[in-house]
Structure 1
């Protein structure tokens, strides 16, 4: 029986302001050092103004947290992203409102609807790859972001106004590229610096331009009163709450804006990492190519997505450098025991995805890219959880994985590429997530 400890979990001793700077500039080194010294649970006051903010990486503790959502723990609004996504985003909503919105948004990202995106993903991949010339060096992340953004724009709006579609595409790309700068990314963690005289002012102006286009689309679609479309906006326009009230324009805007950003940015990063690992690992590339060739040239997208080694490559990519290194926070609702500590109400707890994915007892040689580990055993949702867990698990998980597999498969099977860099790729902060520091530089050799 575990003896309950009186004191709170220990953690790094540096002043919180210095720990926050370390967290912004080099989060992996911060977590590695703290995890090595303090173990499976430690205090890391790096977000907000909490003096007790716990990072947890033990699967048993994570299971307790995820399975007790809404009972012992609550999922508070994401204050970090609120200035970007707005007050009515699913990232910010709580309780019954969050559950209602989540239920509304789930269908387009699952089942039959996802399968209809298969051909579109393949076509978009071919379209952007055909623009490259033999011998050309390109940034993989920028290239796959074009695919991912066009896909999510199509899923959210359909193509009703090609000119507006193109404007949104360009503005969202520009907005997200602002977060290439570590300084701009750092502003997310210092709300007091979110002023017009800082780079935040440029972000605000881009947000306003995007908002004008989204609101224009909402107004036109309300006037058309056409409920036959299968895009997400059509679905949300017909949605009603328990009192029969439809969503307001502001609510629609915030949800659509959230989906546009979250629905392409993280997926583009994950695909770029997958390309890096495949072209850095000749054995992996060879095995993957053999598996893809076994399906032939005109393979069905669903058959491609079921390939075991391709799936293992994608999972190992998401394991070694997860795009999001932490889960959404949970706040302790009532006194609860966790890993021998008695936590008091108000304590914030984060599942540490990165440290869990690098536990040596789960993933020996965790710094090595070894897709085979996902063929040799099945990991529980408390051992491998790149999309988070519990009530806040990412609703776009199925579409993201489907897209990741198809884009990777199309590129590897149809084009000969080589890495243009000798130095290992390192993660760098990009807003609230981590992305390859150079974007992964590849050289187009030829088509197959």
Structure 2
């Protein structure tokens, strides 16, 4: 039955400016607790600013509301306008900041490398990187999980996306990119994203000054790589940068150097920290829950006798896929989809919204609805084997025309890394206490307390099972 129009959005009462700032800090330092407290108090869909303000911020998480948002017409909602806080990081031409025809052009150019045979061609790169990392984790070794997963993820991006495989430029890019990402890897670092008054260059030792110098280093290295590719074209290259450089829009225009740089940085921030955090969470739950571990290893072991294993076969494993899906449900790496700004008066799930209203589709809250996911705090991969969820109930990569273009690649990488790691090493948690999620920039990740120990060698590279 259709909802009546002009339903009232509940939300916190009017508060002084200083109190709103304190609530903003709470969201930065304890984002999940803040979201849950608000939804318990005000429901699935709520506002957190004045009812009368045209710049009201409204959270939506019901499937009905999310469907309306993700299927809205371009003239109704602006997505690029809501992402302008990322301009200093991604540049003016990153796909998440673009609107209309410019956004569609970039999306069409970026989509092909992330699907089908193109994506599968990166499988060996992922497996080789994983093998090298696994080879350094000897029996009895204790290691912090997230840094290892970050190393794997960054190497995949450098080789499969940037196409930089070795040498001085590779080493410098790896170091500079790692340091630049890590600068936002804490709640304090995240404040640089949310509070523009902190974006002041007070020298190389200041947080913002350090970021600006690292960004300059990265830009110089990327432009040098692009210039070298232009002067020495190589048709045999299959990395994503090479494919983007050869692509043209319907008018025959290729991407400029600046557009290439902005898209590379966008892909870095969209695929590095996010994939590393998802892998870390998956390993935590697999080690924390013996039944999940036993079921997953039994499934992985069915493939072990094969020496030349088709990566697509790994990607199709049902329980492995369910583990990855449940990982991204329970702690979605991006807790919110990209915000939308209302351009024309519209109705979402019965709520009338005026132009200027900022819409925040909440992935985390959608994934924790009791009606959709019974016992939502429980890690239970079986729920994804028992039924399918609509894209408005399960949306770890966002939705609509802003859905992450690298989602298939991210899941593919996740499955290959988990398969390779768990097929070779038995892992146990060093501390069995629950791990608390922490903010890392715009994402949430396991805390640094997540450490594991190698308790057994299951299979060495090239060994027979």
Partner of 2:229: 221
Partner of 1:345: 355
In structure 2, relative to structure 1, the CA distance for the partners of 1:297 and 1:16 (3 Å cut) is farther
C-alpha distance in structure 1 between counterparts of 2:448 and 2:49, whole Å: 29
Q: Is 2:118 the partner of 1:113?
A: yes
Q: Is 2:168 the partner of 1:163?
A: yes
**How far has the Cα of 1:417 moved from its partner?**
0.9
In structure 2, relative to structure 1, the CA distance for the partners of 1:370 and 1:344 (3 Å cut) is same
Partner of 2:257: 249
Structure 2, unaligned stretches of length 5 or more?
A: 459-465
Q: Contact conserved, 1:56 with 1:349, CA < 8 A, in 2? A: yes
Question: Please, what is the CA RMSD of the aligned residues?
Answer: 1.9
Residue in structure 2 matching 1:135, options 131, 136, 140:
140
SS state of the match for residue 442, structure 1?
Answer: strand
**How far has the Cα of 1:70 moved from its partner?**
1.1
Farther off after superposition, 315-324 or 158-167:
158-167
Residue in structure 2 matching 1:425, options 428, 432, 435:
435
C-alpha distance in structure 1 between counterparts of 2:301 and 2:64, whole Å: 41
**How far has the Cα of 1:157 moved from its partner?**
2.9
Over residues 235-270 of structure 1, what are the superposed CA-to-partner deviations in whole Å (9 max), with x where a residue is unaligned?
222334455443322222111122123222210110
**How far has the Cα of 1:160 moved from its partner?**
6.3
In structure 2, relative to structure 1, the CA distance for the partners of 1:165 and 1:418 (3 Å cut) is same
C-alpha distance in structure 1 between counterparts of 2:298 and 2:43, whole Å: 41
Partner of 1:52: 56
The number of residues matched between the two structures is: 446
Partner of 2:3: 2
C-alpha distance in structure 1 between counterparts of 2:76 and 2:239, whole Å: 37
**How far has the Cα of 1:216 moved from its partner?**
0.6
Structure-to-structure mapping, 1:228-307, within 5 angstroms: 228-241=236-249, 243-298=251-306, 299-307=309-317
Partner of 2:462: none
C-alpha distance in structure 1 between counterparts of 2:371 and 2:39, whole Å: 14
**How far has the Cα of 1:446 moved from its partner?**
2.6
In structure 2, relative to structure 1, the CA distance for the partners of 1:160 and 1:181 (3 Å cut) is closer
SS state of the match for residue 84, structure 2?
Answer: coil
Residue in structure 2 matching 1:183, options 188, 197, 208:
188
Structure-to-structure mapping, 1:425-444, within 5 angstroms: 425-438=435-448, 440-444=450-454
Residue in structure 2 matching 1:21, options 14, 20, 25:
25
**How far has the Cα of 1:51 moved from its partner?**
4.3
Give the TM-score taking structure 1 as reference length: 0.95
Q: Is 2:456 the partner of 1:446?
A: yes
**How far has the Cα of 1:302 moved from its partner?**
1.1
SS state of the match for residue 428, structure 1?
Answer: strand
Partner of 1:320: 330
In structure 2, relative to structure 1, the CA distance for the partners of 1:50 and 1:332 (3 Å cut) is closer
C-alpha distance in structure 2 between counterparts of 1:287 and 1:206, whole Å: 44
SS state of the match for residue 418, structure 2?
Answer: helix
